[in-house]
């Protein structure tokens, strides 16, 4: 037997939290507007933020009280009726075939990526040489990579203005 929910629905806690956030946020916001204190702008912003955060509790309360009949949930959560033959039998076979194919594809990707990571050797990694240059140097540095190639690095400097 399903419990009977009156008034606020199933999520009364979310409802009361949303109301509390609204009341506290409005109180803080009005305090910042009408009380002459030096941090009134902080109170105005804080009140607006608390009222905005109450929207989270309102969404929880609303979405928690949505009622969907079980007939509409059949296809979404796998509550298919066990009919023999007909359209349900064909759709069940197609669903089983589809899940087998997709799980096979997923497992093949897992095996392929595991093999690729295991076969990668340290010699395939690329080493990059970087050098720093002072402002008086005008000749480019020549760095060497792991493959034995010489790479010419252009001269770059940064300037900063005195303050």
Higher pLDDT, 30 or 111: 30
d(CA 156, CA 135): 8
Question: What confidence tens digit (pLDDT) does each residue in 80-120 have?
Answer: 555 544 556 787 788 888 888 888 888 887 776 666 666 65
d(CA 124, CA 127): 10
Q: Containing domain of residue 20, as a range?
A: 12-67
The answer to whether residue 148 is domain-embedded is no
How big is the CA angle at 102 (ends 101 and 106), to the nearest 5 degrees? 120
User: How much is the CA Rg of the chain, to the nearest whole Å?
Assistant: 33
Helices (H) and strands (E) in the chain, counts: 4, 2
Instruction: State percent of the chain over pLDDT 90.
Output: 33
The answer to whether residue 6 is domain-embedded is no
The answer to whether residue 160 is domain-embedded is no
pTM greater than 0.75? no
- The structure tokens listed for 126 are 């690329």
Closest C-alpha among 23, 10, 139 to residue 67: 10
pLDDT attached to residue 157: 65
Domain count, the chain: 1
Higher pLDDT, 157 or 93: 93
The answer to whether residue 7 is domain-embedded is no
pLDDT classification of 130: cutoffs 50, 70, 90: confident
């Amino acid at each position: 037997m399903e419990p009977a929910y009156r008034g606020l629905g199933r999520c009364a806690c979310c409802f009361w939290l949303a109301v509390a956030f609204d009341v506290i946020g409005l109180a803080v916001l009005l305090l910042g507007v009408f009380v002459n204190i030096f941090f009134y702008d902080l109170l105005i912003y804080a009140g607006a933020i608390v009222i905005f955060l109450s929207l989270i509790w309102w969404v929880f309360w609303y979405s928690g009280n949505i009622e969907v009949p079980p007939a509409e949930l059949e296809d979404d959560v796998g509550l298919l009726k066990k009919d023999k033959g007909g359209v349900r039998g064909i759709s069940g076979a197609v669903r089983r075939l589809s899940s087998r194919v997709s799980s096979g594809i997923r497992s093949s990707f897992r095996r392929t990526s595991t093999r690729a990571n295991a076969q990668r050797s340290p010699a395939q990694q690329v080493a990059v040489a970087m050098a720093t240059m002072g402002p008086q140097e005008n000749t480019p540095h020549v760095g060497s990579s792991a493959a034995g190639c010489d790479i010419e690095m252009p001269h770059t400097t940064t300037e900063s203005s005195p303050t």
